[in-house]
Structure 1
């Protein structure tokens, strides 16, 4: 498994209070494949907290993709829902859990808050 993926999962518990502010709760299994090998991560989501483990047990939802795609997700170069639509990844179970989890992924490079853009445009129009 890549160091970037390991760091991403290790950072989740510290980032959870700022990211998970909704009442979403459940378990999400992330399966990352490379060649003939699949790594498993179990993410327990609760409002304001995350627990990460490598154990395998039933989960409320499962995300499966290549390690390469997941690395692109964690640096903002890919979008999870688009990857499912393009059949680059699969998802089953409670979609609300993935929608909550994807908040941990960064915005694509160069993305700007549309409110800031509108304020800048309004300031130039005066």
Structure 2
């Protein structure tokens, strides 16, 4: 994963992203503030694909934050929803697109989904009979 949001978005694969719900469609503009300037990134989400361009066009959801916040999201250190609750970023528009953004900015390298960890723990357990089976 890139060290900055710019590096991450530039290398974002335009291929199919099965982790995105098939029904998710919309546009997201990221307004990245740094040193009195704002860089704009425009994401188009449709059919489990994400297109990335540089544009200040209107979008279904506009997310504004300092570059340091977006950089931490790109590294998997921050969750967009948590950042919103801590007032680290502001949003305007269709909030339903905020949670799929978490799947675009995936977690840290080597991170695993909690369900995967639970399944792995279950595989390691030995079968113990239920109370009714013990008699």
TM-score range, shorter chain: 0.7 to 0.9
- Structure 1 segment 92-111 matched on structure 2, within 5 A: 92-108=92-108, 111=111
TM-score by length of 1: 0.81
Tell me what 1:63 maps to: 63
Relative to structure 1, is the Cα distance of residues 70 and 15 closer, same or farther in structure 2, using a 3 angstrom cutoff?
Answer: farther
User: Distance in 1 between the 2:31 and 2:59 partners?
Assistant: 12
User: Distance in 2 between the 1:110 and 1:50 partners?
Assistant: 22
Q: Which has the higher helix share?
A: 1
Number of aligned positions between the proteins: 125
- Structure 1 segment 17-28 matched on structure 2, within 5 A: 17-28=17-28
User: Which 10-residue stretch deviates more, 44-53 or 67-76?
Assistant: 44-53
User: Distance in 2 between the 1:91 and 1:15 partners?
Assistant: 27
User: Distance in 2 between the 1:110 and 1:53 partners?
Assistant: 28
Relative to structure 1, is the Cα distance of residues 16 and 123 closer, same or farther in structure 2, using a 3 angstrom cutoff?
Answer: closer
The structure with the largest alpha-carbon Rg is 2
Residue 58 of structure 1: how far off its partner (Å): 1.4
RMSD across aligned C-alpha pairs, in angstroms? 2.4
Residue 23 of structure 2 aligns to a residue whose secondary structure is: coil
Relative to structure 1, is the Cα distance of residues 67 and 41 closer, same or farther in structure 2, using a 3 angstrom cutoff?
Answer: same
CA contact (8 A) 1:42 1:56 kept: yes
User: Distance in 2 between the 1:102 and 1:16 partners?
Assistant: 16
Residue 125 of structure 1: how far off its partner (Å): 4.2
Residue 14 of structure 1 aligns to a residue whose secondary structure is: coil
